[in-house]
Amino acid sequence: MVENRPWLTVLSHAVLLAGVALIAFPLYITFVASTLTHQEILQVPMPLVPGGHLWENYSQVLTAGSHAGAAAPVGRMMLNSLVMALAIALGKIAISIIASFAIVYFRFPLRNFFFWMIFVTLMLPVEVRIIPTFKVVSDLGMLNSYVGLTLPLIASATATFLFRQFFLTVPDELAEAARIDGAGPMRFFRDVVLPLSKTSMAALFVIQFIYGWNQYLWPLLITTQESMYTAVIGIKRMITGGDALTEWNLVMATAMLALLPPAAVVVLMQRWFVKGLVETEK
Amino acid sequence: MEKRVVFRSAWLPYALLAPQIAVTLVFFFWPAAQAGWYSFQLQDAFGLRTEFVGLSNFAALFRDANYLYSFKVTALFSALVAVMADRVVRGALAYKTLLIWPYAVAPAVAGVLWAFLFAPSVGIVTYALRQAGYDWNWVLRGEQAMLLVVIASAWKQVSYNFLFFLAGLQSIPRSLIEAAAIDGAGPARRFWTVVFPLLSPTTFFLLVVNVVYAFFDTFGVIDATTQGGPAGSTQILVYKVYYDGVKAADLGGSSAQSVVLMLIVIALTVVQFRFVERKVQY
């Protein structure tokens, strides 16, 4: 701080605490609701301290789903979400790191053409071309499969650009030295480029994991079998319409389960998360 | 920017690029071309016959009052989200971990959390509002449904805006602020005359990002809460594309909307890129 003003420090802490409280309030209510019984939630106003049914609710949704809405176990959905998030994150990293290596470290005919082909995909999020993409995937017979769930979302240029920007900052002397020592391009890629890209890969992983886990529209279209639902879709299917009919305690338990893994990734890998966020937007 | 040192190989760069190009072609260019093609066609109710109708899908689109209305709703919504997300975070500096986790919450889950808080019969906030003498029922009232969707989306987007403002604030040279302090400017004055103008590139960037977010990522929030209702008051463009294409089976109309959406995204991307190139300061 530039000068010492105690009241200002107090004020900023008060503002921040209020901000944190506002941000955390829905989460707290969700947690409380997930520990109550259906009857306890229906009494207005609902209790504001956690009840004693935490274990019951969570094991109910994990193994059997809700009573009134969809009866698919959330445990299976969490697994689907995990597969989807990991496949998208790792798939994007793998595909784009080799593509950008080719674009940066080689000169070949049509190089710029390929570059622009990848570049234009930046402009069109999945939501825009959703119906035709759905048609293509169903023509290829990929509905209700992990491939159909993940592969179309891997086609994105963000990661390719991030790696390209990074490779351009790698000193030329390294490639020179590798060539003088007689290393071929793949040897150079494995021994120099990959180790150098570790932080970029970690940053990208955090961003893409969250992106994959939180996908909504695509799995909504592509999955018709309950065994292929992701956790985010599962919540939606549990809401039956009508406030009193929906088992909010089970819905809220599922919501907690669906938001904990990505939140944990963000909080635990905070450093790479911030780095990834700032760099993918450049 | 180009590398001075490059490798030479007749086939290797193509092999490295192949996976990304293949995925891009199948799941990006093919569907995009189909969207363009369908948007000129009219399909009968059973999908037996398609005829070429030229531009009439587009013409019908712009005559459709609902479509124009959803444009207006989207614009209003974006502005609201952007301004709210903006207002909430300015001034906060620490408490990072506590403030960034909502970024990891899926839009659909965020929608469910807030829908529960505001549920017409059991919601805790609804109860508080009733006690204060305010009649709250977003299931029936359009403007309240809109408010709910805006709050849920803004809540989720606050952490993102917060991180970028934080990065922007930290990149402001300390010496500038010290110089202002030595000249006798108080904290409020320093903020408005030094910090705020220097933050304008960040603010502008976030404005664009928030608009894009409101256009696309809020689909989950809306589908999980209001589903475009009541009476189309929260029907944004992406939701209409989904609804017309999937629920109403109007492939031509839905594709025409996709094409319009694509043009909007391209325009937004151009705005964003021009900004990144120039780093405007006002």
Q: What are phi and psi of A47, to 5 degrees?
A: -60, 150
- Chain B interface test: which of A23, A232, A238, A275 (most B C-beta within 10 Å): A23
A215: domain range? 34-280
Residue B31: inside a domain: no
Under a CB-based contact definition with an 8 Å cutoff, are residues A93 and A201 in contact?
A: yes
Residue A166: inside a domain: yes
User: Which A residues 200-229 touch B at CB under 8 Å?
Assistant: 210, 213-214, 216-217, 220-221
SS3 label, residue B264: helix
User: Which A residues 162-181 touch B at CB under 8 Å?
Assistant: 168, 172, 175-176, 179
Reported for A15-23, long-range contacts at CB under 8 A and 24+ positions apart, including other chains, are A15/B91, A15/B92, A16/B92, A16/B93, A16/B94, A16/B95, A17/B95, A19/B88, A19/B89, A19/B92, A19/B95, A19/B99, A20/B95, A20/B98, A20/B99, A22/B88, A23/B98, A23/B99, A23/B102, A23/B155, A23/B158, A23/B159
Are B104 and A244 inside 8 Å of each other by CB?
no
- A143 near B CB under 8 A: no
* Residue that the structure tokens 């009919």 belong to: A245
Nearest to A117 among B21, B114, B116 (CB): B21
Of A71-75, A191-195, A242-246, B199-203, least confident by mean pLDDT is A242-246
Any idea what the CATH number is for the domain that residue B252 is in? 1.10.3720.10
- B101 near A CB under 8 A: yes
Residue A44: inside a domain: yes
User: In A, which residues are within 8 Å of B177 by CB distance?
Assistant: 2
- Chain B interface test: which of A10, A12, A180, A214 (most B C-beta within 10 Å): A214
Residue A51: inside a domain: yes
Residue A236: inside a domain: yes
Of A4-8, B33-37, B98-102, B123-127, least confident by mean pLDDT is A4-8
- A17: closest chain B residue by CA: B95
Residue A120: inside a domain: yes
Any idea what the CATH number is for the domain that residue A181 is in? 1.10.3720.10
Residue A21: inside a domain: no
B159: domain range? 58-278
Residue B274: inside a domain: yes
Query: How do residues B18-65 score in pLDDT, each as one tens digit?
Result: 888 888 888 888 887 877 777 666 555 444 455 555 555 555 555 555
Supply angle C-alpha A163, A168, A169, rounded to 5. 100
Query: How do residues A212-266 score in pLDDT, each as one tens digit?
Result: 998 888 888 888 887 888 888 888 777 766 656 678 888 888 888 888 899 888 8
* Residue that the structure tokens 């819905």 belong to: A251
Residue A10: inside a domain: no
